[in-house]
Structure 1
Amino acid sequence: MLAVFPNGEHRFCLRHIHENMKSKWRGDLYKNLLWSAGRKTSIPYFNKAMEEIKTTERAMYDWLNEIPYTAWSRAYFSRTAKCDMLLNNIYEVFNRQIIGARDKPIITCLEFIREYMTKRIMNVKKLQAKCMGPLTPHATEVFDEIKKQASEMFVLMVDTDKYQVTGPRSQCVVNVKHKTCACRKWDLTGMPCKHDVAAIWDMSRNSIDAGIPEEWVYDVYWLSTWKKVYENVIEPINGPEMWTPSQCPTTLIPPKHHTQVGRPKKKRKKAFGEKELEQEFDKGGKMTRKGTNIKCGKCGNMGHNVRSCKG
């Protein structure tokens, strides 16, 4: 990866880190401590979260210190990617869509993916035609919530570029010239946080031409950028019977394969934690009664119900 993308940022999926951690430290207590540290966007708050882990379980603290902070905590993410995701759900979603093609030959698999991507592009274009902008639909929802929180902020103007923004539970320094905030959310995502929006509104109140807050959002969230991503299409192709035969003199021979006994498995191997979660629910989505003590409503004894009662 470093040879192809020398400047690429390498991150780990925090859910997979938690799966590896559960072999030694299980339970909601350790899970919440891990996620609390991963979600912190500034180093001081991250250090406090790590100190809490150290106080609770020193061995877990030492185990996490062996993993680079830049790979799993927002506090150490760079501001280049404009993304603060802690999971790799985007890959899991795509992997789920091609379940029907993963056991097929390579050409059939590629054809399945091509047709799926063609349908996806057209569905997105239909959605884009209904949008008004200036931001994408999801970005608009997120930014509306940020503006709602910004209305609770108190702004102290220090200079035309620097502001001290105080809220119910935070106080941060905002530099609108460099588009930075002490909480680092603007740095990480490219979308102004509640402190930044409050400072932008204060600029307008002081006759500084700041425009609307949406103009300060990074280009990646704009509807026009979203449309550029999907402006190209995947060209359709004719059927295999119309393909030009290859002129390559080399014949590719299929690799040696020993067919295993039984029906081949299509589903991926799930982690131990995922199996436990699925066992708690039946096919109808309800909690199973396995492992619970049943009391008979007829005789009052334990271990059976009214239907199987013999007394």
Structure 2
Amino acid sequence: MAVVETESYDSWSWFLMLLVDDLSLGDGYGYTLISDQQKGLDKAVKELLPHVEHRNCTRHIYANLKKKFPSAAVRNAFWEAAMATHPQAHKSAMKDLAKASKKAAERLEEFDPKVWSKAFFATHFKTDSTENNMSECFNSWILKTRFMPICDMLTEIHDLIMERMHQKRDAMVDVDCIILPKIKQILDANINESAECSGLWDGKQNFQVKWKETYMKTYEHGLEVLRGEPFWEEAEGDEILPPPMMKKLRGRPKKQRRREGWEGAVKKGKGKFNSMTRLGRVMHCTICRERGHNRGNCPNKPEGYVEQARQKRGGKRKVTTEDDLEVEHELERNEEEAMTGEWRKHLE
């Protein structure tokens, strides 16, 4: 993890150089990288990791495609093409996409299918992921720490990861099965469903399984405890420069990632959608009750229409015209005259 000024070719090159050195990635062969089309990253990856499989996140590709082509037919065809497991299925889905929108298909053909469709992923890689949900989850996990000073932020993130490694490792110590518990549940369910099926022998014994042994290797290396700042070793080399001038953006600082129009709002403190957006809804006018517009631009608005002040939630909304106002004023005058007459009789 690194803190840089901006997303650029220089910052990505510097980060990848350190990553290649720390993890001994070599030329990247055998590794998969999924990104969101960040600025300068593609060029840096081609130079420093020429043999890595660099994929683009399908969710971000579709978010950009949906801005100009929001139809459900385009959405369904896109995800069928992205999740296709062989080129023939991908080709069929692209034909469906062209039928729904020829321009959308042409826009998508600008991307190499090797970076976003399962049908063209290299077979020697052991992941078929098309989205980088892991990074999105990590960003939401460290949300509170992102507004701390840099040293405090990195120390807090280190402690969070250290605790997570400990929890994940201890959670599997007492598991007796060599297969992971969640995978075993899926396997047991498939076994029950397969009772009504007849198997065909292919002559081999090849299965794709997630083993406990591999899981434990992931979390066997714990993070070392960090000593306080007074015990930090002085770095050799160039003198540490002061931080660059901070560029303050307009508006209130964003604490959550910008959501697409079709995603909806998220309830505070929870990861579930609380409300959906108005995108795709059919508007109804409260004046004429017709579809396609609201009262602000109603073509059937009566003459002399006066907008009533907003009431509290739950109260009934009332449409007021000049005739209604005249009737109310007349009733008020009659009440005043009646009260005045009663007082005169009382005084006499």
Cα distance between partner residues in 1 of 2:176 and 2:87: 38
Secondary structure, counterpart of 1:10 in structure 2: strand
Which residue in 2 is equivalent to 1:7?
51
Shift of 1:247: 6.4
- The correspondence for 1:59, drawn from 103, 119, 122, is 103
Give TM-score scaled by structure 2 length.
0.60
Q: Deviations over 1:90-148 (max 9, x none)?
A: 11111111222223333222212210111101110221123222112232233334444
What is residue 230 of structure 2 aligned with on the other side?
Answer: 241
- Structure 1 residues 95 and 25, CA, compared in 2 at 3 Å: closer, same or farther? same
In structure 2, distance between residues paired with 1:71 and 1:38: 10
Distance 1:156 1:246, change over 3 A: closer
Q: Quick one: distance in 2 between partners of 1:308 and 1:58?
A: 48
Aligned residue in 2 for 1:47 = 91
Q: Deviations over 1:170-225 (max 9, x none)?
A: xxxxxx37x5xxxxxxxxxxxxxxxxxxxxxxxxxxxxxxxxxxxx335xx21011
- Show the 5 A alignment for 1:152-231: 152-156=196-200, 161=203, 176=204, 179=206, 216-218=207-209, 221-231=210-220
1:255 equivalent in alignment to 2:255: no
Paired residues for 1:1-311 under 5 Å: 1-156=45-200, 161=203, 176=204, 179=206, 216-218=207-209, 221-245=210-234, 250-257=239-246, 264-274=253-263, 277-278=264-265, 287=275, 307-308=315-316
C-alpha distance in 1, partners of 2:229/2:160? 18
SS at match of 1:102: helix
**Residues 240, 59 of structure 1: alpha-carbon distance in 2 compared, 3 angstrom cutoff:** same
| Rg larger for | 2
**Aligned residue type for 2:137:** V
What is the TM-score when the length of structure 1 is the normalising length? 0.66
Q: Give the Cα–Cα distance (whole angstroms) in 1 for the partners of residues 111 and 218 of structure 2.
A: 34
Distance 1:96 1:306 in 2: 35
Alpha-carbon spacing, 1:56–1:235, altered in 2? closer, same or farther (3 Å): same
Is 2:113–2:120's contact at 8 Å kept on the other side of the alignment?
yes
Which AA in structure 2 matches 1:137? P
SS in 2 for 1:22: helix
Q: Secondary structure at the match of 2:265?
A: helix
The share of aligned pairs that are identical, in percent, is 24
In the superposition, relative to structure 1, how do residues 235 and 286 fare at CA in structure 2: closer, same or farther (>3 Å)? closer
- Tell me: higher relative CO, structure 1 or 2? Use CA pairs within 8 A at least 6 residues apart: 1
Deviation at 1:62, TM superposition (A): 1.8
Separation in 2 of the partners of 1:268 and 1:51? 34
Shift, 1:244, TM fit: 4.3
- Measured after TM superposition, the shift of residue 236 of structure 1 is 0.8
1:266/1:118 CA distance change after superposition, 3 Å: same
User: 1:59: how far off?
Assistant: 1.8
* Residue pair 1:282, 1:288 contacting (<8 A) in 2 also: no
- Unpaired runs of 5+ residues, structure 1, are 162-175, 180-215, 296-301
Structure 2 CA distance for aligned equivalents of residues 2 and 119 of structure 1: 35
Check 1:306–1:228 CA distance in 2 against 1; reply closer, same or farther (3 A cut): closer
Count of residue correspondences:
247
**307 and 30 in structure 1: CA distance in 2 versus 1, 3 angstrom threshold:** same
Question: Secondary structure, in 3 states, of the residue corresponding to 1:253?
Answer: coil
Corresponding residue SS for 1:49: helix
